[in-house]
Amino acid sequence: MTDDPLELDSAAWEPRALYFLLTGLVIPRPIAWVSTVSEDGVRNLAPHSYFNVVANDPPHVLFVSTGVKDTLRNVRATGEFVVNVVTLDLVEEMNATAADAPAGVDEFGWVGLDAAPSVTVTPARVARAKAHLECRVVHDLPIGNGNLVVGEVTHVHVDPSVWTDGRIDPQKLDPVGRLSGSSYATLGEVFTLDRPSWADIADADPADRIPRRAT
Ligand SMILES: Cc1cc2nc3c(=O)[nH]c(=O)nc-3n(C[C@H](O)[C@H](O)[C@H](O)COP(=O)(O)O)c2cc1C
């Protein structure tokens, strides 16, 4: 290694090296702990950090299965999944469900997690999770070695313990994000930054154009 900046032709790097590079740069990633059920009724749980919100009206989220795994097979068979939000108190159980368990293993039972019934979909929820998004699949799109699944959110559960004044309180939620490899992060400092409108800043002095953060 030299101290020169990395200038990368992505076609010249091994996929595994690119995986570590990209998952080291796109951080922290939220984690969808996806619960599904197979056609035979076997419950499955697996974390996915290629995950995000893509629309709010109507609400949609996506996750990506790298290759074809039990989660993707179940989603394709049933068209349904639940995203269980991963918080610090559940991070070890979440990680345990990343094991490459055979398809017939009920991962709720395997890690000793109670399930709660969902309202609009068949897959169960992780009872201890503080929030859940019940989803119906609307897109299933192969991209590279990934399979992008978009779900419309049909029902949301939020435990009152994570609310303050009608909004999610990030510190009460205490979410965990994934970094690269086996590293994770919790929330650091939380600060606010006023979003400017052009009308507010169009005539501002250069020194006042940039809203500064407040803690
Ligand atoms: C925090 C974390 C995030 C992960 N994110 C993904 C992901 O986004 N996509 C993926 O295919 N696998 C991801 N994995 C690996 C899967 O969870 C793992 O392959 C799991 O065994 C898949 O389970 P399944 O076969 O029951 O679907 C992740 C693992 C961990 C620990």
> One digit per residue, pLDDT tens: the chain, 215 residues?
678 999 999 998 999 999 999 999 999 999 999 999 999 999 999 999 999 999 999 999 999 999 999 999 999 999 999 999 999 999 999 999 999 999 899 999 999 999 999 999 999 999 999 999 999 999 999 999 999 999 999 999 999 999 999 999 999 999 999 999 999 999 999 999 999 999 989 999 999 899 999 86
| CATH number belonging to the domain at 12-187, selected among 2.30.110.10, 3.40.50.720, 3.40.50.360, 1.10.150.20 | 2.30.110.10
Residue identifier of the C-alpha nearest atom 30 of ligand 1: 47
Ligand 1 binding pocket includes 64 (Cβ within 6 Å): yes
For residue 184, give the ligand 1 atom closest to its CA. 1
CA of 118 to the centre of ligand 1 (A): 22
Place of tokens 């407040």: 214
Q: What is the dihedral of CA 135, 26, 130, 78, to 10 degrees?
A: 20
- Considering Cα of 50, then 127, then 39, then 45, what sign does the dihedral take? positive
CB-based contact 121:83 (threshold 8 Å): no
Domain ranges of the chain: 12-187
The DSSP H or E segment spanning 177 is: strand 177-178
For the question of whether the overall pTM of this predicted structure is more than 0.75, the answer is yes
Cα(30) to ligand 1 centroid in Å equals 13
Q: Establish whether the linkage from the previous residue to 28 is cis, with ω within 30° of 0.
A: yes
Ligand 1 contact via 108 beta carbon (within 6 Å): no
